[in-house]
Amino acid sequence: MENDVGIELRVDASLPRPLYVQIRDGIRDYILSGRAYPGEKLPGERDIARELGVDFKIVRQAMAALVEEGLIYRRPQRGTIVAEYDEKRKNHISTGNIGITLELRSWFQKDILRGIQEVIINNGFHAFVCDTKNELTTEARLVSSLIEKGVDGMIMAPVDFWNWRKKEISHYLRMVNQGIPFVLVDRYIPEIDADFIGCNDYKGSYDAISYLIRLGHKKIGHVTLPANTTSVKDRLRGYEDALRDNDIDYDEKLVEKPRSIIQNPSRLIKAVENLIKRKVTAIFCVNYRHAVGVENVLRNKGFRIPDDISLIAFGSPQDIEWSHHPLTIVSQPSFEIGVAAAKQLIIRINSKYDDNQERYKHIIEPNLLVRKSTAPPRL
């Protein structure tokens, strides 16, 4: 149970493990799980001893072991403090390995990987490349494994988050607490202060909708995700603002958010049917995977692209082989994102981590690549 000292600790004298080991492991878990933050003051040793009903010297022995591990440190007049970044990493022995977590079925993220590998190989690093499959539990397990392998740092494309709860980002908090350098790509996590390299999703969306409006479209549907991911939210915001800036009212009924379309394709079919009923003349998709699905639904229902409905999406040039039509896309600078992320991570690895240093955020502009899936609406 959680004690008055604020740390969930249990000790059992009947177990073969010494009491100080049980206390040490309990406090270690408290720190590494993200429930404690760098610079946080821990309860006093005598307070912990009193709550657990053990000798003060046992708690001191447990704390001494955690100091040796670099997880905590003692300061006169301040007490016991959760270690800051450089105090945790000072004993790290470089392995020359970098962990990379991406969704490898995404052409966009595959191209990010290509950029990463070009830089890290040329700088003498080796990569552990891991496929998250865009699943939170898989991502958390992979991060734990990479930490145990002692990687020097990580580059990560966070999975889609449906809710921003502390338990969903505990593996990120663990990296922060342990002072492991890492760079986020494609989307960032507002609650995590980390380096970020990404695309200007807002501008890409705004430009795509503005282009459709210039073609004459006024009723533009948006097929997106229900996720709370920053890239998804920024693209929706760009869609909304482009409409309003062109004196077109935003209609939430024209925004469809089907979830898990690969496992449940009927959800995407229903979303497209809803937009057809509302007589949209163009559809803007949050990503290329959704666009291909929308294209197939429209074709199966007898609609011609772009004669009947124009289609536009975020994507990358490599995506073209997955569609029947060369789709007009907001072309994301995926390779450049990978290169920039790898260079920034190497800077972090090779320099002393300064907790007061402002995190590096680099946004690269996308390009609108007009192809054969967009045209003026039929009158």
d(CA 254, CA 250): 8
> Taking a C-beta distance cutoff of 8 angstroms, is the pair 206, 244 a contact?
no
- Classify 322 as helix, strand or coil: helix
- Classify 245 as helix, strand or coil: helix
pLDDT, tens only, 73-96: 888 877 888 876 544 555 677 899
Give 292-305 as a 3 state SS string: HHHHHHHHHCCCCC
* Residue 344 to residues 45, 114, 117, 152, 367, Cα–Cα distance (Å): 40, 16, 13, 13, 23
Q: How confident is the model at residue 6 (pLDDT cuts 50, 70, 90)?
A: low
The two tokens of residue 65 are 């072991």
pLDDT, tens only, 105-126: 888 899 999 999 999 999 999 9
Q: Which pLDDT does position 170 carry in this prediction?
A: 72
pLDDT, tens only, 227-255: 788 999 999 999 999 999 999 999 999 99
Q: Does position 300 have pLDDT exceeding 70, yes or no?
A: yes
In the block, residue with structure tokens 């999975």: 159
Q: For the whole prediction, is pTM greater than 0.85?
A: no
Q: Which pLDDT does position 193 carry in this prediction?
A: 82
- Read off the pLDDT of each residue in 155-182 and give the average, rounded to a whole number: 77
Report the range of poorest mean pLDDT among 76-90, 260-274, 321-335, 337-351.
Answer: 76-90
Extract long-range pairs of 291-297: CB within 8 Å, 24+ residues apart: 291/223, 291/315, 291/323, 291/327, 292/322, 292/323, 293/261, 293/265, 293/268, 294/223, 294/268, 295/323, 295/324, 295/325, 295/327, 295/373, 296/324, 297/268, 297/269, 297/272, 297/273
Euclidean distance between the first and the last CA atom of the chain, given in angstroms as a whole number: 69
User: Domains along the chain?
Assistant: 19-83 (1.10.10.10), 97-198+335-364 (3.40.50.2300), 201-332 (3.40.50.2300)
The two tokens of residue 290 are 């959704």
Q: Does position 341 have pLDDT exceeding 90, yes or no?
A: yes
Q: How confident is the model at residue 1 (pLDDT cuts 50, 70, 90)?
A: very low
pLDDT, tens only, 121-139: 999 999 999 999 988 889 9
- Read off the pLDDT of each residue in 257-271 and give the average, rounded to a whole number: 86
> Taking a C-beta distance cutoff of 8 angstroms, is the pair 80, 72 a contact?
yes
Q: Which residues pair with 2 in a beta bridge?
A: 8
Whether a cis peptide bond, with omega within 30° of 0, leads into 265 is: no
The residues, ordered by sequence, that sit 6+ positions from 360 with a Cβ below 8 Å of its Cβ are 195, 196, 344
